[in-house]
Chain A
Amino acid sequence: MDSGRSDRIPVALKILIAGGFGVGKTTLVGAVSEIRPLQTEEVLTDASVGTDDLSGVEGKQTTTVAMDFGRITINDDLQVYLFGTPGQDRFWFLWDELAYGALGAVVLADTRRLADCFPSVDYFERRGIPFVVGVNCFDGARRYSVEAVRSALDLDPDVPILLCDARSRQSGKEVLIALVEHVAQRQGDPVRTH
Protein backbone atom coordinates (compact mmCIF):
# COMPACT_ATOMS: atom_id res chain seq x y z
CA MET A 1 0.00 0.00 0.00
CA ASP A 2 1.12 3.53 -0.61
CA SER A 3 1.39 5.82 2.32
CA GLY A 4 -1.23 8.44 2.95
CA ARG A 5 -4.49 8.87 4.73
CA SER A 6 -6.65 7.72 1.88
CA ASP A 7 -5.26 4.20 2.11
CA ARG A 8 -6.55 3.57 5.58
CA ILE A 9 -9.72 1.59 5.94
CA PRO A 10 -12.37 4.01 7.15
CA VAL A 11 -14.88 3.27 9.86
CA ALA A 12 -18.19 2.84 8.05
CA LEU A 13 -21.44 3.21 9.95
CA LYS A 14 -24.69 2.01 8.49
CA ILE A 15 -28.01 3.70 9.16
CA LEU A 16 -31.28 2.41 7.77
CA ILE A 17 -34.11 4.65 6.65
CA ALA A 18 -37.36 2.74 6.95
CA GLY A 19 -41.07 3.40 6.91
CA GLY A 20 -44.15 2.82 4.84
CA PHE A 21 -44.78 3.36 1.17
CA GLY A 22 -44.28 6.93 0.00
CA VAL A 23 -43.43 8.27 3.43
CA GLY A 24 -40.34 10.16 2.31
CA LYS A 25 -37.47 7.67 2.62
CA THR A 26 -35.91 8.54 -0.74
CA THR A 27 -36.48 12.23 -0.08
CA LEU A 28 -34.68 12.03 3.25
CA VAL A 29 -31.67 10.12 1.93
CA GLY A 30 -31.43 12.62 -0.93
CA ALA A 31 -31.69 15.61 1.39
CA VAL A 32 -28.74 14.66 3.57
CA SER A 33 -26.45 12.73 1.25
CA GLU A 34 -25.48 12.16 -2.32
CA ILE A 35 -28.05 9.59 -3.24
CA ARG A 36 -27.47 6.79 -5.73
CA PRO A 37 -29.46 3.74 -6.60
CA LEU A 38 -28.03 0.47 -5.41
CA GLN A 39 -29.19 -2.65 -7.15
CA THR A 40 -29.50 -5.78 -5.18
CA GLU A 41 -30.99 -8.95 -6.42
CA GLU A 42 -32.20 -12.16 -5.05
CA VAL A 43 -31.74 -15.45 -6.75
CA LEU A 44 -35.16 -16.96 -6.62
CA THR A 45 -35.08 -20.26 -4.87
CA ASP A 46 -36.38 -23.34 -6.57
CA ALA A 47 -39.33 -23.23 -4.25
CA SER A 48 -40.28 -19.71 -5.25
CA VAL A 49 -39.79 -20.37 -8.93
CA GLY A 50 -41.53 -23.68 -8.74
CA THR A 51 -38.84 -25.67 -10.44
CA ASP A 52 -36.04 -27.93 -9.32
CA ASP A 53 -33.92 -27.22 -12.33
CA LEU A 54 -30.38 -27.49 -11.09
CA SER A 55 -28.88 -28.14 -14.49
CA GLY A 56 -27.19 -24.78 -14.50
CA VAL A 57 -27.23 -21.74 -12.31
CA GLU A 58 -27.39 -19.74 -15.47
CA GLY A 59 -30.99 -20.80 -15.64
CA LYS A 60 -31.73 -19.43 -12.20
CA GLN A 61 -33.97 -16.45 -12.13
CA THR A 62 -33.29 -13.40 -10.13
CA THR A 63 -35.33 -10.41 -9.24
CA THR A 64 -33.70 -7.04 -8.84
CA VAL A 65 -34.53 -4.53 -6.18
CA ALA A 66 -33.15 -1.01 -6.21
CA MET A 67 -32.56 0.66 -2.91
CA ASP A 68 -31.79 4.20 -1.93
CA PHE A 69 -28.17 4.46 -1.03
CA GLY A 70 -26.33 7.49 0.23
CA ARG A 71 -23.01 8.28 1.80
CA ILE A 72 -22.03 11.07 4.13
CA THR A 73 -18.32 11.61 4.51
CA ILE A 74 -17.62 12.82 8.01
CA ASN A 75 -13.87 12.74 7.40
CA ASP A 76 -11.31 10.52 5.66
CA ASP A 77 -11.64 7.89 8.33
CA LEU A 78 -15.34 8.02 9.03
CA GLN A 79 -18.22 7.43 6.65
CA VAL A 80 -21.93 7.18 7.31
CA TYR A 81 -23.91 5.07 4.86
CA LEU A 82 -27.65 5.41 4.50
CA PHE A 83 -29.81 2.66 3.13
CA GLY A 84 -33.45 3.25 2.33
CA THR A 85 -35.15 -0.03 3.07
CA PRO A 86 -37.41 -1.44 0.40
CA GLY A 87 -40.96 -0.81 1.47
CA GLN A 88 -42.71 -3.96 0.45
CA ASP A 89 -43.23 -7.08 2.45
CA ARG A 90 -41.71 -9.35 -0.11
CA PHE A 91 -38.37 -7.68 0.40
CA TRP A 92 -38.00 -8.59 4.04
CA PHE A 93 -35.12 -10.84 3.06
CA LEU A 94 -33.15 -7.73 2.21
CA TRP A 95 -33.80 -6.19 5.58
CA ASP A 96 -31.83 -8.83 7.41
CA GLU A 97 -28.74 -8.13 5.42
CA LEU A 98 -29.24 -4.40 5.72
CA ALA A 99 -29.87 -4.59 9.45
CA TYR A 100 -26.78 -6.70 10.05
CA GLY A 101 -24.29 -4.54 11.87
CA ALA A 102 -26.40 -1.41 11.48
CA LEU A 103 -25.81 1.40 13.91
CA GLY A 104 -29.51 2.12 14.00
CA ALA A 105 -32.54 3.14 12.01
CA VAL A 106 -34.80 6.06 11.27
CA VAL A 107 -38.44 5.05 10.96
CA LEU A 108 -40.38 7.65 9.03
CA ALA A 109 -44.04 7.97 9.85
CA ASP A 110 -46.88 9.82 8.20
CA THR A 111 -49.60 10.65 10.70
CA ARG A 112 -52.27 10.18 8.05
CA ARG A 113 -51.21 6.55 7.74
CA LEU A 114 -49.49 5.83 10.98
CA ALA A 115 -50.04 2.08 10.80
CA ASP A 116 -47.77 1.91 7.75
CA CYS A 117 -44.74 2.20 9.98
CA PHE A 118 -45.77 -0.55 12.42
CA PRO A 119 -43.84 -3.30 10.61
CA SER A 120 -40.65 -1.23 10.68
CA VAL A 121 -41.05 -0.39 14.35
CA ASP A 122 -41.69 -4.06 15.14
CA TYR A 123 -38.73 -5.18 13.13
CA PHE A 124 -36.22 -2.94 14.91
CA GLU A 125 -37.73 -3.48 18.35
CA ARG A 126 -37.54 -7.24 18.06
CA ARG A 127 -33.94 -7.16 17.00
CA GLY A 128 -32.90 -4.60 19.58
CA ILE A 129 -31.74 -2.20 16.88
CA PRO A 130 -31.83 1.39 18.12
CA PHE A 131 -34.21 3.60 16.20
CA VAL A 132 -35.83 6.99 16.22
CA VAL A 133 -39.17 7.91 14.70
CA GLY A 134 -39.34 10.86 12.34
CA VAL A 135 -42.86 12.12 11.88
CA ASN A 136 -42.81 13.54 8.42
CA CYS A 137 -44.98 16.61 8.40
CA PHE A 138 -46.67 16.58 5.05
CA ASP A 139 -48.39 19.80 4.05
CA GLY A 140 -51.97 19.84 5.06
CA ALA A 141 -51.57 16.76 7.20
CA ARG A 142 -53.05 16.97 10.61
CA ARG A 143 -50.29 17.61 13.11
CA TYR A 144 -50.24 15.27 16.02
CA SER A 145 -48.27 15.85 19.14
CA VAL A 146 -45.20 13.77 19.68
CA GLU A 147 -46.88 12.18 22.67
CA ALA A 148 -49.95 11.24 20.66
CA VAL A 149 -47.68 9.49 18.15
CA ARG A 150 -45.80 7.78 20.96
CA SER A 151 -48.92 6.31 22.44
CA ALA A 152 -50.36 5.37 19.05
CA LEU A 153 -47.15 3.49 18.24
CA ASP A 154 -46.87 2.15 21.79
CA LEU A 155 -43.23 3.23 21.87
CA ASP A 156 -40.94 3.03 24.84
CA PRO A 157 -40.45 6.38 26.53
CA ASP A 158 -36.77 6.42 25.59
CA VAL A 159 -37.34 6.13 21.83
CA PRO A 160 -36.89 9.62 20.41
CA ILE A 161 -39.67 10.99 18.23
CA LEU A 162 -39.09 14.06 16.11
CA LEU A 163 -41.28 16.07 13.83
CA CYS A 164 -39.41 16.46 10.58
CA ASP A 165 -39.54 17.50 6.97
CA ALA A 166 -37.76 14.94 4.84
CA ARG A 167 -37.19 17.54 2.15
CA SER A 168 -35.09 19.68 4.43
CA ARG A 169 -31.41 18.94 4.84
CA GLN A 170 -31.40 20.63 8.22
CA SER A 171 -34.35 18.60 9.43
CA GLY A 172 -32.87 15.36 8.10
CA LYS A 173 -29.59 16.10 9.84
CA GLU A 174 -31.41 16.63 13.11
CA VAL A 175 -33.11 13.26 12.80
CA LEU A 176 -29.78 11.52 12.15
CA ILE A 177 -28.14 13.37 15.04
CA ALA A 178 -30.99 12.29 17.33
CA LEU A 179 -30.38 8.69 16.29
CA VAL A 180 -26.65 8.80 16.92
CA GLU A 181 -27.19 10.47 20.28
CA HIS A 182 -29.78 7.84 21.13
CA VAL A 183 -27.29 5.09 20.28
CA ALA A 184 -24.66 6.75 22.46
CA GLN A 185 -27.11 7.02 25.31
CA ARG A 186 -28.23 3.41 25.04
CA GLN A 187 -24.68 2.31 25.07
CA GLY A 188 -24.38 3.85 28.50
CA ASP A 189 -27.37 1.86 29.72
CA PRO A 190 -26.39 -1.36 31.43
CA VAL A 191 -29.70 -3.04 30.67
CA ARG A 192 -31.78 -2.94 27.57
CA THR A 193 -35.44 -2.31 27.95
CA HIS A 194 -36.45 -4.67 25.17
Chain B
Amino acid sequence: MRTDPPGPHHEWLDDEAGPVVRPYAVTGGRVQPASGKFDLMAFVVAGPPDEGPQPPQPEHRAIIAAAQRPVAVADLAADLDLPVGVVRVLLGDLLATGRISMYEPPASRQFPDDDILKAVVNGLRAL
Protein backbone atom coordinates (compact mmCIF):
# COMPACT_ATOMS: atom_id res chain seq x y z
CA MET B 1 0.00 0.00 0.00
CA ARG B 2 2.97 2.29 -0.25
CA THR B 3 2.01 5.18 -2.38
CA ASP B 4 5.55 6.36 -2.84
CA PRO B 5 8.92 4.77 -2.30
CA PRO B 6 10.75 5.42 0.95
CA GLY B 7 12.58 8.64 0.47
CA PRO B 8 14.49 11.17 2.46
CA HIS B 9 11.36 12.27 4.26
CA HIS B 10 11.22 8.86 5.88
CA GLU B 11 14.63 9.25 7.36
CA TRP B 12 13.25 11.68 9.80
CA LEU B 13 15.71 11.98 12.58
CA ASP B 14 15.86 14.55 15.26
CA ASP B 15 16.62 17.59 13.16
CA GLU B 16 13.17 19.08 13.21
CA ALA B 17 9.68 18.13 13.94
CA GLY B 18 7.98 17.07 10.76
CA PRO B 19 6.01 19.64 8.88
CA VAL B 20 2.58 20.42 10.17
CA VAL B 21 0.55 18.11 8.03
CA ARG B 22 -2.87 16.57 7.78
CA PRO B 23 -2.41 12.84 7.70
CA TYR B 24 -5.98 12.47 8.88
CA ALA B 25 -7.44 13.17 5.48
CA VAL B 26 -7.68 9.42 5.08
CA THR B 27 -9.93 9.20 8.15
CA GLY B 28 -12.17 12.02 7.05
CA GLY B 29 -10.64 14.21 9.68
CA ARG B 30 -11.42 11.91 12.57
CA VAL B 31 -8.60 11.75 15.07
CA GLN B 32 -10.21 9.45 17.65
CA PRO B 33 -11.01 5.83 16.94
CA ALA B 34 -14.72 4.96 17.02
CA SER B 35 -13.85 2.18 19.42
CA GLY B 36 -10.87 0.50 21.02
CA LYS B 37 -7.56 1.51 22.46
CA PHE B 38 -4.93 -0.03 20.18
CA ASP B 39 -1.66 -0.20 22.02
CA LEU B 40 1.35 -0.27 19.69
CA MET B 41 1.88 -3.84 20.83
CA ALA B 42 -1.74 -4.90 20.48
CA PHE B 43 -2.37 -7.58 17.87
CA VAL B 44 -5.02 -7.41 15.18
CA VAL B 45 -6.64 -10.37 13.47
CA ALA B 46 -9.11 -10.04 10.63
CA GLY B 47 -12.46 -11.69 11.27
CA PRO B 48 -14.45 -13.93 8.94
CA PRO B 49 -14.47 -12.27 5.52
CA ASP B 50 -18.25 -11.99 5.15
CA GLU B 51 -18.88 -10.37 8.49
CA GLY B 52 -20.07 -6.78 8.47
CA PRO B 53 -20.35 -4.37 5.56
CA GLN B 54 -17.53 -3.95 3.09
CA PRO B 55 -15.12 -1.46 4.61
CA PRO B 56 -15.26 1.85 2.78
CA GLN B 57 -11.65 2.65 2.06
CA PRO B 58 -8.65 0.98 0.48
CA GLU B 59 -6.75 1.56 3.70
CA HIS B 60 -9.34 -0.42 5.62
CA ARG B 61 -9.03 -3.22 3.13
CA ALA B 62 -5.25 -3.09 3.30
CA ILE B 63 -5.45 -3.59 7.05
CA ILE B 64 -7.72 -6.57 6.64
CA ALA B 65 -5.37 -8.06 4.08
CA ALA B 66 -2.40 -7.55 6.39
CA ALA B 67 -4.26 -8.98 9.39
CA GLN B 68 -5.08 -12.37 7.94
CA ARG B 69 -2.54 -13.47 10.52
CA PRO B 70 -2.02 -11.72 13.84
CA VAL B 71 -0.18 -8.47 13.25
CA ALA B 72 0.91 -5.85 15.76
CA VAL B 73 -0.48 -2.32 15.46
CA ALA B 74 3.06 -0.95 15.12
CA ASP B 75 3.81 -3.40 12.31
CA LEU B 76 0.62 -2.42 10.51
CA ALA B 77 1.53 1.25 10.62
CA ALA B 78 5.06 0.59 9.38
CA ASP B 79 3.94 -1.89 6.69
CA LEU B 80 1.16 0.33 5.37
CA ASP B 81 3.28 3.45 5.72
CA LEU B 82 0.57 5.23 7.65
CA PRO B 83 0.91 7.19 10.88
CA VAL B 84 -0.01 5.22 13.97
CA GLY B 85 -2.87 7.59 14.86
CA VAL B 86 -4.43 7.11 11.44
CA VAL B 87 -4.15 3.34 11.73
CA ARG B 88 -5.87 3.54 15.12
CA VAL B 89 -8.84 5.38 13.65
CA LEU B 90 -9.14 2.86 10.83
CA LEU B 91 -8.87 -0.03 13.30
CA GLY B 92 -11.63 1.56 15.36
CA ASP B 93 -13.91 1.48 12.32
CA LEU B 94 -13.09 -2.15 11.64
CA LEU B 95 -13.54 -3.13 15.27
CA ALA B 96 -16.89 -1.37 15.47
CA THR B 97 -18.14 -3.28 12.45
CA GLY B 98 -16.79 -6.61 13.62
CA ARG B 99 -14.23 -6.97 10.87
CA ILE B 100 -11.29 -7.48 13.20
CA SER B 101 -10.48 -8.79 16.65
CA MET B 102 -8.04 -7.02 18.90
CA TYR B 103 -5.75 -8.55 21.47
CA GLU B 104 -4.41 -5.89 23.80
CA PRO B 105 -1.28 -6.61 25.85
CA PRO B 106 -1.80 -7.17 29.57
CA ALA B 107 -2.99 -3.97 31.21
CA SER B 108 -0.89 -4.31 34.30
CA ARG B 109 2.80 -3.77 34.22
CA GLN B 110 3.64 -7.38 34.19
CA PHE B 111 6.99 -8.79 33.34
CA PRO B 112 7.10 -11.98 31.35
CA ASP B 113 8.11 -15.04 33.28
CA ASP B 114 11.63 -16.40 33.40
CA ASP B 115 11.03 -18.97 30.69
CA ILE B 116 10.18 -16.26 28.23
CA LEU B 117 13.17 -14.17 29.23
CA LYS B 118 15.43 -17.19 28.85
CA ALA B 119 13.98 -17.85 25.42
CA VAL B 120 14.70 -14.26 24.46
CA VAL B 121 18.30 -14.47 25.66
CA ASN B 122 18.84 -17.73 23.80
CA GLY B 123 17.12 -16.37 20.73
CA LEU B 124 19.27 -13.25 20.72
CA ARG B 125 22.42 -15.32 21.14
CA ALA B 126 21.41 -17.42 18.16
CA LEU B 127 20.75 -14.43 15.90
Contact = CB atoms under 8 A, between A and B. Distances in A.
Main secondary structure of the interface of A (DSSP, over half): mixed
A69 B74 contact: yes
B13 interface: yes
Interface of B: 6, 10-14, 17-24, 28-31, 39-41, 43, 45, 69-70, 72, 74-75, 77-78, 81-86, 103, 105-106, 109, 111-112, 114, 116-121, 123-125, 127
B83 A64 contact: yes
B18 A13 contact: no
Contacts of A81: 40-41, 72, 74
A86 B15 CA distance: 10
Interface size class of A (residues with CB under 8 A): 35 or more
A57 B124 contact: no
Contacts of B117: 180-181, 183-184, 187
Interface of A: 1, 6-14, 21-22, 26, 32, 36-44, 56-66, 69, 71-72, 74-75, 78-81, 83, 86-88, 90-91, 97-98, 100-101, 103, 169, 173, 176-177, 180-181, 183-184, 187
A48 to B, nearest CB: 11
B74 A169 contact: no
Nearest to A91: B17
B8 to A, nearest CB: 11
